């Protein structure tokens, strides 16, 4: 089942009643409802959105990722359920006990999947992808030669039109703002799914920043980043240099969880693909398989 992404960009009072989200809109006087179990991500993007504690508790108990945005309307916080799986303690132990060789193999697979999708993305944008295809064949266990970084330098040079003079920096010029917003949605989606698979998002297989509570989410989202890039490229084609965030751009980015991807030769919504990816990762930690499932471009 595809979960809904709900976005609140205007003043609203959010509460719960009878297992439903009740939305009161003071500007119009409207009252709307939504079934809580149908929601996957809820984004609070206005300083005058009020949420009751009862609703927060119910959202988290249904494994809904709750994203809060700052005054500049960029995602700044993420709340997740602490008890996302019935065998969570057991799965934590498998994750904590994972061997270094296994983690290196999993990271190699992750980098390979990311570069394959970057190469496909460059091909769709009519750019030369031969260099990245060459790097894929050179990736070793743990990506000891840092092929990921080599590919990134080439990829960001050619993914957008020349007139942008683009440089990938978190606080850089547009479309960095669009990439950041899309990646924040993706990160929340992956973190939510990791919790649902009984895994701890903090313990990564590659990322190890002691100040980062979502190291594993940052690992697993890597092969999914090119799907965000695809949406941003579509926005660039339609808007040229005018890339300050607009409601229509934000709407396009909010469609990322339901965009189509390919996994095991079958078309699937990205949200469902992420769930299969995290479930396969849990099986890798348990020793049931040694391969993570990742999506491809259609």
| 3-12, 87-96, 163-172: range with lowest mean pLDDT | 87-96
**Could you tell me the pLDDT band of residue 84, with boundaries at 50, 70 and 90?**
low
pLDDT in the model for residue 208? 82
49-81 confidence digits (pLDDT tens): 999 999 999 999 999 999 999 888 888 889 988
Omega before 175 within 30 of 0, i.e. cis = yes
**Could you tell me the pLDDT band of residue 282, with boundaries at 50, 70 and 90?**
very high
Tell me the C-alpha distance between 197 and 193, whole Å: 6
218-236 confidence digits (pLDDT tens): 999 999 999 999 999 999 9
pLDDT in the model for residue 85? 62
pLDDT in the model for residue 168? 95
**Could you tell me the pLDDT band of residue 189, with boundaries at 50, 70 and 90?**
very high
pLDDT in the model for residue 180? 95
Q: Where are the domains positioned within the chain?
A: 4-79, 88-286
pLDDT in the model for residue 89? 82
Mapping DSSP to helix (H, G, I), strand (E, B) and coil, where does residue 268 land?
Answer: strand
Residue 286 annotated as part of some ligand binding site: no
- Percentage of the chain with pLDDT > 90? 83
For residue 86, pLDDT over 90 is answered with: no
Residue 148 annotated as part of some ligand binding site: yes
Q: What is the mean pLDDT of the chain?
A: 93
- Percentage of the chain with pLDDT > 70? 99
Tell me the C-alpha distance between 249 and 226, whole Å: 17
User: CATH homologous superfamily for 88-286?
Assistant: CRISPR-associated endonuclease Cas1, C-terminal domain (1.20.120.920)
Tell me the C-alpha distance between 143 and 125, whole Å: 26
For residue 1, pLDDT over 90 is answered with: no
pLDDT in the model for residue 188? 93
149-187 confidence digits (pLDDT tens): 999 999 999 999 988 989 999 889 999 999 999 999 999
pLDDT in the model for residue 225? 98
**What is the value of pTM for the model shown?**
0.91
Rounded to an integer, the average pLDDT of 118-139 is: 96
Residues 204, 190 contacting (CB under 8 angstroms): no
Residue 24 annotated as part of some ligand binding site: no
Q: Identify the sign of the CA torsion 124, 131, 179, 221.
A: positive
17-34 confidence digits (pLDDT tens): 999 999 999 999 999 999
For residue 141, pLDDT over 80 is answered with: yes
CATH architecture of 4-79: Ribosomal Protein L15; Chain: K; domain 2 (3.100)
Q: Please identify which residue in the block is written with the tokens 């595809």.
A: 2
């Amino acid at each position: 089942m595809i979960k809904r992404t709900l976005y609140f960009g205007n003043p609203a009072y959010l509460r719960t009643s009878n297992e439903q989200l009740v939305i009161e809109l003071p500007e119009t006087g409207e009252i709307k409802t939504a079934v809580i179990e149908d929601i996957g991500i809820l984004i609070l993007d206005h300083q005058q959105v009020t949420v009751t504690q009862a609703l927060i508790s119910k959202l988290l108990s249904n494994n809904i990722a709750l994203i809060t945005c700052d005054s500049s309307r960029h995602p700044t916080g993420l709340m997740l359920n602490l008890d996302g799986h019935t065998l969570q303690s057991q799965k934590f132990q498998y994750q904590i006990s994972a061997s270094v060789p296994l983690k290196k193999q999993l990271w190699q697979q992750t980098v390979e999947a990311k570069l394959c999708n970057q190469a496909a993305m460059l091909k769709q944008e009519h750019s030369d992808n031969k260099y990245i295809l060459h790097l894929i064949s050179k990736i070793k266990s743990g990506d000891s030669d840092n092929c990921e970084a080599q590919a990134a330098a080439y990829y960001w040079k050619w993914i957008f039109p020349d007139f942008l003079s683009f440089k990938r920096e978190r606080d850089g010029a547009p479309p960095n703002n669009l990439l950041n917003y899309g990646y924040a949605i993706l990160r929340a989606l992956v973190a939510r799914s990791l919790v649902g698979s009984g895994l701890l998002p903090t313990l990564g297989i590659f990322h190890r920043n002691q100040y980062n509570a979502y190291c594993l989410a940052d690992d697993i989202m890597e092969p999914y980043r090119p799907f965000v890039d695809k949406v941003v490229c579509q926005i660039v084609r339609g808007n040229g240099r005018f890339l300050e965030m607009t409601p229509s751009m934000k709407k396009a980015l909010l469609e990322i969880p339901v965009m189509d991807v390919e996994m095991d030769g079958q078309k699937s919504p990205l949200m469902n693909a992420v769930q299969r990816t995290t479930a396969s990762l849990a099986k890798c930690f348990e020793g049931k398989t040694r391969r993570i499932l990742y999506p491809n471009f259609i």
